[in-house]
Amino acid sequence: MDDSTAERLARVIVDMEGPYERKGYQLEQLLKRAGWADPPEYDGSPRIAWLAENLIDRRDEHGDIERLLCRVCDPVEYDDGMVSADEFRAVVNDKLAVEQLVISYIGGRAVLGELSSDSGKPIFSVPADLDNRLRRLITDSIAVDLLMSRVRETVLCEESGAHTMAIIGIGSFVEGLLYSLLIERDEEIRAKGFLGRDGKYQRPDRASLALLIDVAHEKEWIQLDAKDFMQNVRHFRNFVHPRAELAQQPRFDRDSVALCWAPVHNLLNDIEERIGR
């Protein structure tokens, strides 16, 4: 992100003398709600310059910047919900255009994507700085290496037009991400396994993607909309079985893959906001 873009975004977010003006303490709260690790304390200096400086300092922390931009455009931030959120989205997108980025709504949630130079439409792909973001969440470096290998293979499928295999790869990545996090961070799951819908414990290595998504939502790691959209990705992932593909005969394309990457952004942002780094 260019310094000038950071300054323009800071002006939008602070909204000096506007109807949504944010005071210093409100900026601090906004950064906390966006899941920034060690968010800075407001020091009483001019707010726009203070926020711009912090954006510039963290511009290499792509996850922090993405979550902040999405939070500013999130309906939960405003008393009138989507009305004000969409106003902010329009202005934020105007400032992001020079960076070829755009905020869109997927299922009512703000998602950051790239702006297509051909069609002007949003393009969703692998979350930015994914390797570093995963290593802050997961201590098992071998697990992270495996997840990133899956991502690279998924991108290769996507770029070569193997759209069904790319979607299967996205579902596989999500399964590995949730499994690694739950195993590392939940002592009961490590000891007893996952409590299934039938009230019985299942061995961790037998847990389905559907169960992993449900448990992550029950632990309030992900919001309901992220859960619902990930269930769609889970459904598509099942086309790894030829009989399922023969029965339903989906016609996946590049847009289908992009629509599966979009909820991955929401899921990752939710996890980073709620369980920290």
Structure tokens at 197: 């819908």
- Residues 63, 128: contact at Cβ < 8 Å? yes
Residue 79's alpha-carbon distances to 34, 74, 76, 82, 186, in angstroms, are: 18, 11, 8, 9, 35
- Identify the three-state secondary structure at position 127: coil
Q: Domain segments of the chain: what residues?
A: 3-123, 130-275
pLDDT of residue 156: 95
Helix (H) or strand (E) holding 102: strand 101-106
pLDDT digits (tens, 9 = 90+) for 217-239: 999 998 888 888 787 777 776 66
pLDDT of residue 273: 87
- Residues 179, 212: contact at Cβ < 8 Å? yes
pLDDT of residue 240: 65
Q: Is residue 72 classed exposed, middle or buried when 0-12, 13-18 and 19+ CB atoms within 10 A define those classes?
A: buried
130-275 sits in which CATH class? Answer: mainly alpha
pLDDT of residue 119: 62
Structure tokens at 231: 């269930």
- What does the alpha-carbon distance between residue 263 and residue 265 come to, in Å, rounded to a whole number? 5
pLDDT of residue 83: 94
pLDDT under 70: residue ranges of the chain: 118-120, 237-241, 243-248, 250, 276-277
User: Nearest Cα to 130, choosing from 182, 161, 176, 187?
Assistant: 176
User: Nearest Cα to 81, choosing from 101, 110, 103?
Assistant: 110
First to last CA, the chain: 22
pLDDT of residue 262: 87
- Residues 91, 50: contact at Cβ < 8 Å? no
pLDDT of residue 145: 97
Q: The tokens 């009989």 sit on which residue?
A: 243
- Residues 173, 154: contact at Cβ < 8 Å? yes
pLDDT of residue 177: 96
pLDDT of residue 23: 95
pLDDT of residue 227: 84
Residue 249's alpha-carbon distances to 12, 102, 201, 246, 257, in angstroms, are: 46, 32, 35, 5, 16
Q: For the whole model, what pTM was predicted?
A: 0.79
> For the chain, what is the total number of helices (H) and then of strands (E)?
13, 5
**What's the mean pLDDT when you consider all of the chain?**
89
